[in-house]
Chains A and B, each alone.
Chain A
């Protein structure tokens, strides 16, 4: 199977058929040379199983058991994410929404309300708002520090994404608050959250490249404290639009 993700043609040798359905909006019939290939083995599936168990235990929740075909989707994205820094592209945990063709990315710890906030944007802006990716978009960081955010099939439990790409206007760290307040944040202050939310490759060279890409990233950075009222969308959009 070949998919096109963040402008890269990726050949995937997989074990199960579920991944084909999962990636159906991204499958390409392009007969040209792939940018890279990945191969999934049973060991890769077991790695994801073990990792998922450890994460559930670390979060203090009941360990969930997943089928091999679902775990393969995780293994595929992990292998893709390990390689993408070679192409100046990183996986970032966040909810990305486009309004009038510009991308806005919200990131936070799980459960804070990223998806809830971008849902407020969709209510506020109607057809002008399009979900890029509600969970794990890819972001390409250009030489000049500007960035492009891409839809991917790895789009969260509500499966919210579109196969589109838009320039990234701003990235916002979300926190819960009593009132809706937003302010600019420096890269230095944002670093701990950026590092927590970016995919950190296992390969040290790829990890080093990821750090360089984060260093290079030059988009508006903001921190929003919000209470999830409809007003929150107006507050964040007005500030992030610039």
Chain B
């Protein structure tokens, strides 16, 4: 799975944003902390939920089950707004 090209990412320095282009069919805004930023960055290439969890576990000092839960939740929200192509 990866991020659809109709969604772009943007870092403001304080937050990570996922913004739909005009043709994306979604008019909201997704924002989050650096965890979201890391997930979005990984989703720019074709990847899997397991690979994302593994990459974040290496990068962040947090329990793996917490990371897995955060990733699962983020992916679910991204799929709900149509931002992911399988």
Contacts and interface: CB of A to CB of B under 8 A. Distances in A.
A207 B31 CA distance: 17
Contacts of A208: 8, 10
B15 A200 contact: no
A201 B17 CA distance: 16
B23 to A, nearest CB: 4
Contacts of A111: none
A32 interface: no
Most buried by B among A195, A202, A203: A195
Contacts of A200: 19-22
Contacts of A187: 12
A80 to B, nearest CB: 13
B62 interface: no
B6 interface: yes
B84 to A, nearest CB: 16
A92 to B, nearest CB: 14
Interface residues of B, number: 16
Given A204-B8, A211-B10, A191 B21 contact: no
Interface residues of A, number: 16
Interface string B19-46: 1111100010101000000000000000
Nearest to A206: B21
Judged by DSSP, the binding face of A is helix
A104 to B, nearest CB: 25
Contacts of B48: none
A207 B21 contact: yes
B5 interface: yes
A40 to B, nearest CB: 17
B14 interface: yes
A196 interface: yes
B27 A211 contact: no
A49 to B, nearest CB: 16
A150 interface: no
Contacts of A211: 8, 10, 17, 19
Contacts of A188: 12, 14-15
A192 interface: yes
B17 A207 contact: no
Contacts of B12: 187-188, 191, 215
Nearest to A187: B12
Interface string A202-230: 11100110010001000000000000000
Contacts of A203: 21
B21 to A, nearest CB: 4
A202 B8 contact: no
B21 A201 contact: yes
Interface of A: 187-188, 191-192, 195-196, 199-204, 207-208, 211, 215
21 contacts: A188-B15, A191-B17, A191-B29, A191-B31, A192-B29, A196-B29, A199-B22, A200-B19, A200-B21, A200-B22, A201-B21, A202-B6, A203-B21, A204-B8, A204-B21, A207-B19, A208-B8, A211-B8, A211-B10, A211-B17, A215-B12
